[in-house]
Structure 1
């Protein structure tokens, strides 16, 4: 799953307030404590699972903690007028718990993503899959059996993280009037991510790229929902926003999330790997349907090049040149700009606190200038 913050080169962040900086520190400490709690508990019944949790901790190190920051923004968008009489620390504690829940969910999806994409490196380091693969190789297993062992361990780790994420999200909402709505929103993010991943997989099996509206739907499901839309939505609900207000803020997140993935598609084909840390061949070689291939496929005369995109031995520079000639990159960047403009315009109509609007605009600027 091509999700935000996969590479060490993508370390820029939108302007952060002292509040969000302090939040990130607390989220990091809490995540370590949660993982250690599960690791220590596993020691009572399975030393192998205790080791698995230690390796999970290594795999989850780093990252920009974008999702917890969005939960905080969603909360701050409405907290000032909805939490009179409520201790500020109680609201922040719920934000921390929900932010950790999203990071555990993100880790779960990344573990499963490594299996789907058959990857053994992430952020320039061996994945958890690679560690168990290498263990199997050291025991004399064949390369095929060792890779199977590695991917199997990653599936198990992803399942454990998913269970922990769901439990923590429910705890963050416990006793609030909107508890059920918050839980439903978190579950929706999970289901949408799975649906988007499935569509991405099935599109790669088709003889022609998916259409533009299909790719946009897939990217909204796969990336925008759990990484942008639902963090803002649950943060708003934690603060006591009503359903319509929370949904309006969530829609801003959806637009930003789709724009992020559009730029990610562009960087996956035309970016500089030295700056982005992303391969510019994998999407093309795997026959993925991206906004670029979808836009190009709708261009007259491009049909003659379609066989390139289903040939694993095709010349990648030739594929890239064929895409470039259609103007797909230009169109995709314009679409991302339109989405970000729509998001920032909508944030102003909601009369959000100035700092919240400013940070949302910072996210939009970061999205559009990634890899620049």
Structure 2
């Protein structure tokens, strides 16, 4: 497997290029999986489905495994085997992300994803996409079995992915039922509810999982890194608050999407903050206009956000959160772990600068 990395000199090759190349290795293996007797049509379908859903994003989660592992190893040049294993774990996270997004788009009745129609919106796909999501999820243990079964942390990897998947699916449930209730009564949108949704739906798989994979590869016991998990989960909350802010106040050309949290009745950080600060008349404006697709309704909500100075509220939150996170990170005894955590934090902080 690692022979595919030229000359074994991973540091001489662009990490992202190597990472993308390993996707095609893994896809080829999956399309020849001996556990299923493929027909030409089924192999062609899965081939197309994978290319459509797995590698199209920014790949930040997957690449973070490679970057984190290299930092944990003191920045030394990684061997070909180490690069391949780190990339394979990174792709398992990207597969997990694809699985979540394919099903999430169906649940949200979304139209576009990553600049193209959602997978289920494609002709001849429709609700076959639900089974495709299940296949994406089942590819993860196939990859793990193929490349990690003989390694001492194999069972830990299985436990980790299973637990994070459960946490994320539970967070999605919270999001769905909260939105359903919020559509009837906006007062259901509170900060504790928001934080719980974000923690489980986003933070564990987007922030903790890549670092946990790198720690396991490094021979560490995850039970010794509870504080690191807590920092990463808090960082994930910070990331989502920033994402909610940019959804409303960010430049679509810069952030790469047009925000629709207001129209979609999302339990967003902004609406939670607005509800905490609004007087009776302002709450009536929110109730009348939040969750409506009409552009005038959206404009009224955004105007209310400005009246409540939520841009300043966000700036204060960001400054306080950043300082708190830096303090927690610098209390970590391992300099390498500190560097991993700071690299995550700086990427988030630079996203809007």
TM range (shorter): 0.7 to 0.9
1:71 and 2:62 matched: no
State the shift of 1:293 in Å. Answer: 0.8
State the shift of 1:80 in Å. Answer: 5.3
Stretches of structure 1 that go unaligned for 5 or more consecutive residues are 1-17, 136-148
Which residue does the alignment assign to 1:8?
A: none
Q: TM-score, normalization: structure 2?
A: 0.82
Question: Matches of residues 271-350 of structure 1 in structure 2 within 5 Å?
Answer: 271-280=250-259, 282-301=260-279, 302-307=282-287, 308-313=289-294, 315-350=297-332
Report if the CA contact (8 A) 1:75-1:237 is conserved: no
Partner Cα separation in structure 2 for residue 170 and residue 349 of structure 1: 37
Q: Aligned Cα RMSD in Å?
A: 3.0
State the shift of 1:55 in Å. Answer: 3.3
Report if the CA contact (8 A) 1:43-1:49 is conserved: no
C-alpha spacing 1:129/1:97, structure 2 compared with 1 (3 Å): same
Over residues 237-278 of structure 1, what are the superposed CA-to-partner deviations in whole Å (9 max), with x where a residue is unaligned? 221123344333333322222211111111111111122122
Over residues 269-322 of structure 1, what are the superposed CA-to-partner deviations in whole Å (9 max), with x where a residue is unaligned? 111112212223x21111111111111111140422231224454611001111
C-alpha spacing 1:258/1:333, structure 2 compared with 1 (3 Å): farther
Larger relative contact order (C-alpha < 8 A, sep ≥ 6)?
Answer: 1
Over residues 188-214 of structure 1, what are the superposed CA-to-partner deviations in whole Å (9 max), with x where a residue is unaligned? 211111111111111211221511111
State the shift of 1:159 in Å. Answer: 1.2
State the shift of 1:222 in Å. Answer: 0.9
After TM superposition, the structure 1 stretch with the greater mean CA deviation from structure 2, 67-76 or 207-216, is 67-76
Report if the CA contact (8 A) 1:67-1:102 is conserved: yes
Partner Cα separation in structure 2 for residue 19 and residue 161 of structure 1: 30
C-alpha spacing 1:333/1:183, structure 2 compared with 1 (3 Å): farther
Q: TM-score, normalization: structure 1?
A: 0.79
C-alpha spacing 1:44/1:103, structure 2 compared with 1 (3 Å): same
Partner Cα separation in structure 2 for residue 333 and residue 19 of structure 1: 38
Which residue does the alignment assign to 1:108?
A: 99
Question: Matches of residues 1-372 of structure 1 in structure 2 within 5 Å?
Answer: 19=11, 22-40=14-32, 44-45=38-39, 47-76=41-70, 78-79=72-73, 88-132=79-123, 135=124, 149-150=125-126, 152-169=127-144, 173-206=148-181, 207-208=185-186, 209-280=188-259, 282-301=260-279, 302-307=282-287, 308-313=289-294, 315-353=297-335, 357-358=338-339, 360-372=341-353
Partner Cα separation in structure 2 for residue 214 and residue 340 of structure 1: 22
Over residues 210-251 of structure 1, what are the superposed CA-to-partner deviations in whole Å (9 max), with x where a residue is unaligned? 111111111111111101111111211221123344333333
Report if the CA contact (8 A) 1:262-1:333 is conserved: no
State the shift of 1:89 in Å. Answer: 4.3
SS of structure 2 residue aligned to 1:129: helix
Partner Cα separation in structure 2 for residue 179 and residue 37 of structure 1: 19
C-alpha spacing 1:113/1:270, structure 2 compared with 1 (3 Å): same
Report if the CA contact (8 A) 2:290-2:298 is conserved: no
After TM superposition, the structure 1 stretch with the greater mean CA deviation from structure 2, 338-347 or 18-27, is 18-27
C-alpha spacing 1:284/1:32, structure 2 compared with 1 (3 Å): same
Report if the CA contact (8 A) 1:74-1:233 is conserved: no
